Amino acid sequence: MDLIKVKDYQTMSEKGCAYLLNHFQTLKNPILGLATGSTPEGLYKQLIEKYKKGFISFRDVSTFNLDEYVGLEEKDPNSYHYYMNEKLFNHIDISKENVHLPNGTVTNLQQECRDYERLIEQAGYVDVQILGLGLNGHIGFNEPGTPFSSRTHAVELNESTREANARFFDSKEAVPRQAITMGIETILESKEILLLVSGKKKAVALARLLSGDIREDFPASALKKHPHVTIIADEDACVHIGEHVYQ
């Protein structure tokens, strides 16, 4: 894993954008894996800016999002469909049929997960997967204990994750209890992975990722098995690096 340490959130977002643009140049039909949450918002702003200035087009880009809540309609402001439309897709020239997110409103979640896997495979797998880091080391919605061999699946969300995400909802009770997420093995099939980490809150998780063992109770540690992971982290997120030895 390569660690690029930057000053702050803004620089992390700019560097993340430069990293993606670099990869875009080498790919004919880039397939991007996308994350939600607070962390990539600045990166999406950067991408929109580059598009508006004419530096980049998304006409040939396809996207696969990591996850979606179960039970939220696309029009629900807390759904990840809504988030992606608002934060990125509505502002760029991407074709809606090239955009993919799991559908959390279907009755047969297992079938939806299998279909999502098939779509990723048919597309030829993700070229660059963007990830954020959960406080408990989750990636996508793969909570601690998720087998590294997991494929796209429906999950029960941890209370700590529901609490962390309650800031987007009216109350913690309103946060869905289930989600669909790409599995850890699905994520590891991406050709390149870009992990963005920002803020003091993430410092312990980042330090554990860098110096701890590869263990299923810390999902992000699976990234150490991948040959092409780049981490861009700001100074606040790096404050605990090297301080402890994590088991």
Ligand X SMILES: O=P(O)(O)OC[C@H]1O[C@](O)(CO)[C@@H](O)[C@@H]1O
- Where along the sequence are the contacts to ligand X (CB under 6 A)? 35-39, 67, 132-134, 141, 161, 165
Torsion of CA 215, 138, 44, 196, to 10 degrees: -40
Q: How far is the CB of 43 from ligand X (least distance, A)?
A: 11
**Buried b or exposed e, range 60-70, using 16+ CB within 10 angstroms:** ebbbbbbbbbb
Shortest separation between residue 218's beta carbon and ligand X, angstroms = 14
CB count within 10 Å of CB 94 equals 21
For residues 98 and 142, which CB has a smaller minimum distance to ligand X in the complex? 142
For the bound state, the minimum distance from the C-beta of residue 4 to ligand X, rounded and expressed in Å, comes to 18
Q: Which amino acid is at 76?
A: D
**Cα–Cα separations (whole angstroms), residue 150 to 47, 111, 155, 182, 186:** 31, 15, 11, 8, 7
Q: How far is the CB of 124 from ligand X (least distance, A)?
A: 24
Query: In angstroms, what is the minimal distance from the CB of 130 to ligand X?
Result: 8
Pairing of strands 192-197, 128-131: parallel
Angle, CA of 159, 165 and 170, to the nearest 5°:
105
Q: Contact at 8 Å (CB) between 12 and 41? A: no
CB closer to ligand X, 48 vs 130? 130
Cβ–Cβ under 8 Å, residues 55 and 170: no
Kindly tell me which of 39 and 98 has the beta carbon lying closer to ligand X. 39
Determine contact, residues 164/132, Cβ cutoff 8 Å: no
Here the tokens at position 227 are 């040959």
Between residues 33 and 134, which has the closer beta carbon with respect to ligand X?
134
User: In the complex, which residue's CB is closest to ligand X?
Assistant: 132
Nearer to ligand X, 59 or 200 (CB): 200
The catalytic residues are: 67, 136, 138, 143
Burial 141-161 (b: 16+ CB within 10 A, else e): bbbbebebebbbbbbebbeeb
